């Protein structure tokens, strides 16, 4: 052994330390990888040694290597070893390494829980500090759940250094484990008024971050922050508070007025210092100008939201910024443009942007420009576009872009516009056919080119609206070119399908014109060209092509017999497509009597052998798919089915039929005629048609407007002539027309997207269910829900989601429990008069259930009867149960206690925190709380008052407001649980006058509430057990399904114990009462709890309480 030691320390002399490693890496520039792999081998050797110093050194080196990009996850266990070293030097390195390389997927992270808990309760503040810092980097939902309580305790640590760290880390814990927010919040609030400025700013930080996501829950804190803002001198804190108010003011308009004065004060105080810090922080002058430019644009985009007019005046300036060398500034300017466009300047702005698209180098920026152009044009249902011909030509022009990823965006726009703006279809079709004609240019050589997506749109538009085509035959040939087969599969598929549509319309044309030869020619063309698609590697293309080929061959046969077929073929594509809103499907309400969860067929029986089962299912599916794909092959079959479908649709109330909306009727207004139609010269093949057009449109648009103006002026003149007294309101030559005066070039109807008639309106569509902040949307002021979490989160650790979703109804569905509840650890009896009025409609059902239950419980159990209580309700006893005050007519006051805290300093006092919420519409004041003192437990009253006097509540409650009051009780003996009866009297004032009311309640003090979580080390624990001063007792609980880990966590959480040591299925735990009784527990997995305590009565009471808790596991 000794020799080993010596050997270890000699080895160490030869070990590299971190500096050597860094130096070595720098000296081995050429063969760095080789050198490092050598080092890693050495480190592996070092990690095998017993000497912790060597290990720590090795881990330190590994941390450095990790930064260089080497994988060190294999050393995770060694890192934990170093973390658990007793010396701070090593512990620090261990935690650093852990914080750098642990993440949620690290499996050994589970092993750290107890180590971290031990470090958190370490007497050295730096041990605790380093553990908190490390934890902040790798906290997982499990760790957060297990350690939430420990960290909460640390929030009231004596050292501000720990307090501030604990407060800050709570934010991370909330994110990982939202249930902890509610129990921790009162304490967090308390910290806003901490004497230490560091802790204060940490609390402000956390609450600001929370409030930013869900501001409405934090409105009640506004007065507190207001006070802080006027009193604090810490700029960092002030900035955070102002940000918080920024989030709160939209919700509470009165706040804005109140804030004006302090804010102006602040601005005066700081404007100078801000400028100084800006100039000192930016030594490089030109860089600071860029920063200011950026900030200016940012500020403008914020002003734009409220005062768009004032920003629009700076359009030129913003456009100038588009020329800036700096991409960040250009992007900001682009953002601004989005909000600045109007009907008047859209064309001009887009023209400018298009010129930038040409100049832009770097695909990312160009793509960004492209998306912005499309965004700008399509915003608010194309409200700024007056001339859709212009827009289509812009889109066509954009297809010239090479290497863009956004081909599909352009395609989507083309489709959208062509479908929804009926007047433009003719024009769109002509453009698209040109595009198809020049497809070899668009999709030239590079197949990966994203731009070929537009061909998808082009093909579809040409096919669907083929009646508008000027030269359908030419387009058909263009679509059947051999080159097409180089396009991606999904585009080819669309080609194939639309070729048939086109073919159908050509057939019809030819037959109407009585040119059977021409019709046969077209058919022959199809028969010749389609086989190239049949050979396609893409299944979809192949399948469609072979179906259609058969169809065409059939037609050919009929044609040979001189049978007119056009009518039937075009009937294949009868009917018109209407745009359907993307959310339409979701909004269709489930019809009554339809149970989506019910089996349609009998579920497969379990008796089937497992080997066969998957096979059978697979086979089944294949068959079904094959069946589905068969149709289309036979034309008659198709027609028959279509008829059947039509029939079915007609009978189906949920099918969205194409009904001519009143808007569409307007389409035929002669507005289309007067548009100057540009002749596109299709005979010039190499020129992309449409390309020069958007410029032309600018001119045309100007001309048009000019004409409009002239016309208007003429009218006005006429009017003037008639009415010469009238003052000229506008000067004709001035460009003063407002947006509204600009008549669109076409009578354009933007067909709105259809929604099912009985769609349910809901705003929640846009919320992302995965948003981590959503879970933190907890109404903290609502006392009814307030006390739900501590118990629930201990008893159902895994199912966070489901707990959050079924909030209030749970306890009421579980057995009728009238006027009382069992007491659990933190919380005591609650009573309130009316179940929350402020619940939203959603909870109506629950509310009804609740009130039903309430009535039931009232009948069964008279108020105050507490003798026989079903224990099974205990797990949820945090839930307040209604107590009917007999004397109360309509008090509407909720009263609830959520925390009893003993303090070690004063050995016979406990503090009870009560949340009072006014749920009525009256103003409550002069509140006084009085308790019928028992011999043992007395309410601490102000000096000089008698036992019958109440303790005044130091605030008043306006309607809908809640506040927290604390009352101190003096306890003589803590060995027994206590119950106290009390009354809260108050004056309720409303329009009809004021009345004096009172509310009775009961307070439960359990033995647990006298315990204070105190860490204990195993040696001290052993001594305590050996001392023999402790009396013993034990309990046994059966039928616990929960894991041992959770069980321990539960005991820790509810009964204020801390784990001293855990060996396999056995754990020793310790706690201390406020009067200094030691309580030691030995918990075995089976589950039995052996307890030793300096007071036997206390112990037996405690164990009884524990048994009640465990029985519900």
Partner 1 sequence: MQFMLLFSRQGKLRLQKWYVPLSDKEKKKITRELVQTVLARKPKMCSFLEWRDLKIVYKRYASLYFCCAIEDQDNELITLEIIHRYVELLDKYFGSVCELDIIFNFEKAYFILDEFLLGGEVQETSKKNVLKAIEQADLLQEGGAEAEGERESLKQTPY
Of residues 50-109, those binding partner 1 (CB under 8 A): 53, 60, 63-64, 66-69, 71, 73, 87-89, 92-93, 96, 99-105
Q: Measured in whole angstroms, how far is the alpha carbon of residue 934 from the centre of its chain?
A: 51
> Per rule CB under 8 A, is residue 245 in the interface with partner 1?
no
Residue 636 Cα distances to 500, 631, 633, 877, angstroms? 16, 10, 9, 70
The percent helix, strand, coil of the chain (3-state, each to 5) is 55, 10, 35
**Contact call for residue 534 and partner 1 (CB under 8 A):** no
Smallest separation, CB 510 to partner 1 (Å): 55
Tell me how far, at minimum, the Cβ of 235 lies from partner 1, in Å.
8
Give the span between the Cα atoms of 801 and 780, in whole angstroms.
18
What tokens does 742 get?
């600009």
Least CB distance to partner 1 at residue 829 (A) = 37
- H, E, C per residue of 267-279: HHHHHHHHHHHHH
Is residue 911 part of the contact set for partner 1 (CB under 8 A)? no
Least Å from the CB of residue 175 to partner 1: 9
> By rule CB under 8 A, what string of x and - marks binding of each residue 172-201 to partner 1?
x------------------------xx--x
User: Should residue 654 be labelled a site residue for partner 1 when binding is judged by CB under 8 A?
Assistant: no
- Options 230-238, 443-451, 618-626, 1040-1048: segment touching partner 1 (CB under 8 A): 230-238
Convert residues 251-280 into a mask of x (bound to partner 1 by CB under 8 A) and - (unbound).
--------------------------x---
Q: Is 159 in the site for partner 1 (CB under 8 A)?
A: no
Shortest Å distance, C-beta 290 to partner 1 = 4
| By the rule CB under 8 A, 249 interacts with partner 1 | no
Looking at the Cβ atoms of 243 and 473, the one nearer to partner 1 is 243
In terms of CB distance, is 2 or 514 closer to partner 1? 2
Pick 232 or 389: Cβ nearer partner 1: 232
Identify which of 465, 567, 571, 562 has the alpha carbon closest to the alpha carbon of residue 515.
562
Least Cβ distance, residue 207 to partner 1 (angstroms)? 11
Q: Which is nearer to partner 1, 173 or 396 (CB)?
A: 173
Which tokens belong to 131? Answer: 């553990």
Q: How far is the CB of 287 from partner 1 (least distance, A)?
A: 6
Q: Is residue 209 within the footprint of partner 1 (CB under 8 A)?
A: yes
Nearest CB to partner 1, comparing residues 204 and 432: 204
Position 164 contacts partner 1 (CB under 8 A): yes
Residues 326-355 that bind partner 1 (CB under 8 A): 326-329, 331
Cα torsion at 222, 223, 225, 227 (round to 10°)? 160
Nearest to 205, CA basis, from 244, 155, 232, 177:
244
**Interaction of residue 163 with partner 1, rule CB under 8 A:** no
CB closer to partner 1, 328 vs 663: 328
Sheet with 993-1005, edge to edge strand ranges: 951-952, 923-931, 978-990, 993-1005
| φ/ψ of residue 518, rounded to 5 | -60, -40
Among 171, 382, 967, 1001, binds partner 1 (CB under 8 A): 171
371 belongs to the binding site for partner 1 (CB under 8 A): no
Among 44, 189, 243, 664, binds partner 1 (CB under 8 A): 243
Residue 112 lies near partner 1 (rule: CB under 8 A): no
Q: Residue 321 CB, nearest distance to partner 1 (Å)?
A: 11
- Please count the residues of this chain forming the interface with partner 1, following the rule CB under 8 A: 79
Contacts of 886 (CB under 8 A, 6+ apart): 863
Among 49, 114, 115, 136, binds partner 1 (CB under 8 A): 136
State which of positions 285-314 bind partner 1 (CB under 8 A).
Answer: 286-287, 290-291, 293-295, 298
Q: Which is nearer to partner 1, 184 or 893 (CB)?
A: 184
Q: What are phi and psi of 1082, to 5 degrees?
A: -120, 110
Distance CA(952)–CA(333), nearest Å, equals 59
Cβ atoms within 10 Å of 212's Cβ, excluding its own: 16
Q: How far is the CB of 52 from partner 1 (least distance, A)?
A: 10
Smallest gap from Cβ 797 to partner 1, in A, equals 19
Q: Is 236 in the site for partner 1 (CB under 8 A)?
A: yes
Nearest distance from C-beta of residue 3 to partner 1, angstroms: 8
Q: What is the largest CA-CA distance in the chain?
A: 120
Would you call the peptide bond into 1087 cis, given omega within 30 degrees of 0 as the criterion? Answer: yes
Residue in 212, 217, 213, 203 with CA at minimum distance from that of residue 245: 212
Q: How far is the CB of 767 from partner 1 (least distance, A)?
A: 17
Query: What minimum distance in Å lies between the beta carbon of 1061 and partner 1?
Result: 24
Distance of alpha carbon 815 from alpha carbon 757, whole angstroms: 42
Q: Does 774 bind partner 1 (CB under 8 A)?
A: no
Q: Is 815 in the site for partner 1 (CB under 8 A)?
A: no
Dig out the tokens for 347 from the structure: 């064309």
Tell me how far apart the alpha carbons of residues 555 and 270 are, in angstroms, rounded to a whole number.
84
| CA angle in degrees (0–180, nearest 5) for 687-691-696 | 125
Residues 191 and 345: their CA atoms lie apart, in Å, by 53
Least distance to partner 1, CB of residue 177, Å: 14
177 with 743: CB under 8 angstroms? no
Residue 751 binds partner 1, judged by CB under 8 A: no
Strands ordered across the beta sheet of 893-902:
830-832, 893-902, 909-918, 962-971, 937-939
- Output the smallest distance, CB 144 to partner 1, in A: 12
Question: Which tokens is 642 given?
Answer: 């279509």
Query: Is residue 284 involved in binding partner 1 (CB under 8 A)?
Result: yes
Q: Give 456's DSSP letter.
A: H
Which position has the token pair 């090479």?
Answer: 402
Looking at the DSSP bridge assignments, the partners of residue 911 are: 901, 968
Burial 511-545 (b: 16+ CB within 10 A, else e): beeeeeebbbebbebbeebbebbbebebeebbbbb
**Closest C-alpha to 971, from 890, 907, 882:** 907
| Distance in angstroms (rounded) separating the CA atoms of residues 700 and 32 | 66
**Residue 942 near partner 1 by CB under 8 A:** no
Residue 719 is a binding residue for partner 1 (CB under 8 A): no
Task: Tell me: does residue 132 bind partner 1 (CB under 8 A).
Answer: yes
Distance CA 91, CA 60 (A): 11
Shortest Å distance, C-beta 94 to partner 1: 11
* Rg of the chain (C-alpha set): 39
Q: Looking at 325, 725, 805, 996, which residue binds partner 1 (CB under 8 A)?
A: 325
Decide if residue 1063 touches partner 1 (CB under 8 A). no
32 or 754: whose CB is closer to partner 1? 32
CA atoms 334, 340, 345, 347: torsion sign: positive
Count each helix (H run) and each strand (E run) in the chain, helices first.
45, 15
103/860 with CB nearer partner 1: 103
Answer yes or no whether residue 1051 interacts with partner 1 by CB under 8 A.
Answer: no
Q: Output the smallest distance, CB 65 to partner 1, in A.
A: 11
Query: CB of 1111 within 8 A of CB of 1012?
Result: no
User: Which range binds partner 1 by CB under 8 A, 202-210, 337-345, 638-646, 1034-1042?
Assistant: 202-210
The smaller minimum CB distance to partner 1, of residues 198 and 564, is found at 198
Q: How far apart are CA 772 and CA 928, in angstroms?
A: 41
- Give residue 784's region: left, alpha or beta (phi > 0; psi -120 to 50): alpha
Q: Is 19 in the site for partner 1 (CB under 8 A)?
A: yes
Q: How far is the CB of 465 from partner 1 (least distance, A)?
A: 38
165-173, 311-319, 804-812, 1042-1050 -> range binding partner 1 (CB under 8 A): 165-173
């Amino acid at each position: 052994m000794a020799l080993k030691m010596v050997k270890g320390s000699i080895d160490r002399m030869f070990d590299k330390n971190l500096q050597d490693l860094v130096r070595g890496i720098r000296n081995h520039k050429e063969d760095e990888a080789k050198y490092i792999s050598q080092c890693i081998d050495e480190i592996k050797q070092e990690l095998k040694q017993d000497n912790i110093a060597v290990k720590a050194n090795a881990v330190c080196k590994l941390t450095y290597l990790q930064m260089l990009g080497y994988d060190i996850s294999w050393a995770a266990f060694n890192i934990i070893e170093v973390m658990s070293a007793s010396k701070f030097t090593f512990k620090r390195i261990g935690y650093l390494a852990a914080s750098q390389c642990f993440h949620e997927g690290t499996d050994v992270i589970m092993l750290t829980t107890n180590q971290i808990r031990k470090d958190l309760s370490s007497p050295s503040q730096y041990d605790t500090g380093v553990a908190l810092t490390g934890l902040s980097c790798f906290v997982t939902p499990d760790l957060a759940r297990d350690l939430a309580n420990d960290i909460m305790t640390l929030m009231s640590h004596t050292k501000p250094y720990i307090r501030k760290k604990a407060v800050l880390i709570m934010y991370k814990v909330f994110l990982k484990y939202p249930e902890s927010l509610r129990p921790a919040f009162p304490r967090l609030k308390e910290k806003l008024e901490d004497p230490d400025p560091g802790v204060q700013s940490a609390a402000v930080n956390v609450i600001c971050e929370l409030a930013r996501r869900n501001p409405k829950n934090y409105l009640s804190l506004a007065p507190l922050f207001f006070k802080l803002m006027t009193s604090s001198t810490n700029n960092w804190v002030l900035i955070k508070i102002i940000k918080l108010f920024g989030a709160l003011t939209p919700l509470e308009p009165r706040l804005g007025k109140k804030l004006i004065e302090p804010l102006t004060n602040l601005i005066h105080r700081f404007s100078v210092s801000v400028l100084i810090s800006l100039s000192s922080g930016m030594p490089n002058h030109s860089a600071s100008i860029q920063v200011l430019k950026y900030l200016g644009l940012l500020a403008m985009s914020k002003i734009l939201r409220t005062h768009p007019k004032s920003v629009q005046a700076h359009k030129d300036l913003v456009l100038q910024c588009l020329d800036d060398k700096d991409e960040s500034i250009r992007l900001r300017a682009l953002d601004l443009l989005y909000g600045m466009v109007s009907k008047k300047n859209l064309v001009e702005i887009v023209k400018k942007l298009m010129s930038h698209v040409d100049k832009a180098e770097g695909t990312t920026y160009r793509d960004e420009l492209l998306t912005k152009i499309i965004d700008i044009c399509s915003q608010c249902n194309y409200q700024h576009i007056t001339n859709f011909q212009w827009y289509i030509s812009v889109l066509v022009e954009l297809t010239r872009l090479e290497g863009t990823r956004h081909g599909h965006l352009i395609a989507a726009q083309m489709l959208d516009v062509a479908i929804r703006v009926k007047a433009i279809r003719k024009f769109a079709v002509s453009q698209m056919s040109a595009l198809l004609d020049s497809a070899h240019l668009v999709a030239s050589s590079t197949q990966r080119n994203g731009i070929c997506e537009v061909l998808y749109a082009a093909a579809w538009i040409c096919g669907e609206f083929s009646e508008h085509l000027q030269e359908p035959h030419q387009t058909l040939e263009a679509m059947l070119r051999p080159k097409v087969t180089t396009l991606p599969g999904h585009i080819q598929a669309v080609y194939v399908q639309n070729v048939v549509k086109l073919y159908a319309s050509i057939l019809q044309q030819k037959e109407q014109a009585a040119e059977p030869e021409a019709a046969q020619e077209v058919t022959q063309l199809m028969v010749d060209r389609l086989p190239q698609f049949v050979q396609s590697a893409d299944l979809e293309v192949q399948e469609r092509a072979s179906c259609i080929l058969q169809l065409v061959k059939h037609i050919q046969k009929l044609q040979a017999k001189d049978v007119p077929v056009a009518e039937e073929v075009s009937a294949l594509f009868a009917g018109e497509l209407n745009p359907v809103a993307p959310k339409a499907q979701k909004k269709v309400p489930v019809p009554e009597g339809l149970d989506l969860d019910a089996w349609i067929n009998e579920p497969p029986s379990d008796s089937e052998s497992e080997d066969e089962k998957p096979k059978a299912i697979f086979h089944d599916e294949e068959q079904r798919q094959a069946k589905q794909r068969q149709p289309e092959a036979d034309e008659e079959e198709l027609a028959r089915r279509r008829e059947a479908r039509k029939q079915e649709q007609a009978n189906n109330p949920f099918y969205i039929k194409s009904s001519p909306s009143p808007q569409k009727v307007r389409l035929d207004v002669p507005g289309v005629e007067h548009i100057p139609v540009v002749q596109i010269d299709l005979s010039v093949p190499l020129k992309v048609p449409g390309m020069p057009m958007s410029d032309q449109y600018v001119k045309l648009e100007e001309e048009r407007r000019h004409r409009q103006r002239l016309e208007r002026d003429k009218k006005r003149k006429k009017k003037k002539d008639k009415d010469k007294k009238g003052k000229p309101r506008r000067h004709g030559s001035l460009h003063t027309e407002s947006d509204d005066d600009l008549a669109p070039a076409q009578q354009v109807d933007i067909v709105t997207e259809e929604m099912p008639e009985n769609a349910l309106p809901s705003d929640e569509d846009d919320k992302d269910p995965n948003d981590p902040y959503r879970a933190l949307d907890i109404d903290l002021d609502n006392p009814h829900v307030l006390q739900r979490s501590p118990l629930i989160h201990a008893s159902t650790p895994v199912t966070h989601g489901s707990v959050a979703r079924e909030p209030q109804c749970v306890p009421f569905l579980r057995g009728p429990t009238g006027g009382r509840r069992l007491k659990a650890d933190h919380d005591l009896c609650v009573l309130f008069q009316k179940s929350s009025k402020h619940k939203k409609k959603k909870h109506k059902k629950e509310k009804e259930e609740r009130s039903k239950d309430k009535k039931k419980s009232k009948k069964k159990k008279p108020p105050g009867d507490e003798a026989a209580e079903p224990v099974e309700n205990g797990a949820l006893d945090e839930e307040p149960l209604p107590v009917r005050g007999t004397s109360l007519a309509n008090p509407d006051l909720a009263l609830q206690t959520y925390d009893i805290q003993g303090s070690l300093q004063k050995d016979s006092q406990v503090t009870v925190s009560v949340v009072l919420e006014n749920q009525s519409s009256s103003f409550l004041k002069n509140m006084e709380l009085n308790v019928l003192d028992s011999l043992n437990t007395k309410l601490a009253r102000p000096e000089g008052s008698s036992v019958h006097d109440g303790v005044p509540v130091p605030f008043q409650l306006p309607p809908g407001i809640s506040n927290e009051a604390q009352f101190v009780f003096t306890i003589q003996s803590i060995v027994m649980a206590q119950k106290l009866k009390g009354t809260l009297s108050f004056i309720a004032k409303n329009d009809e006058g004021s009345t004096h009311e009172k509310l009775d309640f009961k307070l439960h003090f359990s033995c647990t509430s006298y315990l204070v979580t105190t860490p204990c080390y195993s040696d001290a624990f052993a001594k305590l057990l050996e001392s023999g001063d402790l009396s013993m007792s034990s309990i046994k609980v059966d039928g616990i399904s929960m894991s041992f880990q959770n069980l321990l966590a539960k005991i820790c959480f509810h009964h204020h114990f801390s784990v001293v040591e855990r060996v396999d299925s056995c754990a020793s735990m310790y706690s201390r009462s406020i009067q200094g009784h030691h309580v030691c527990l030995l918990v075995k997995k089976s589950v039995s709890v052996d307890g030793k305590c300096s007071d036997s009565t206390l112990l037996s009471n405690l164990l009884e309480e524990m048994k009640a808790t465990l029985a519900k596991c």
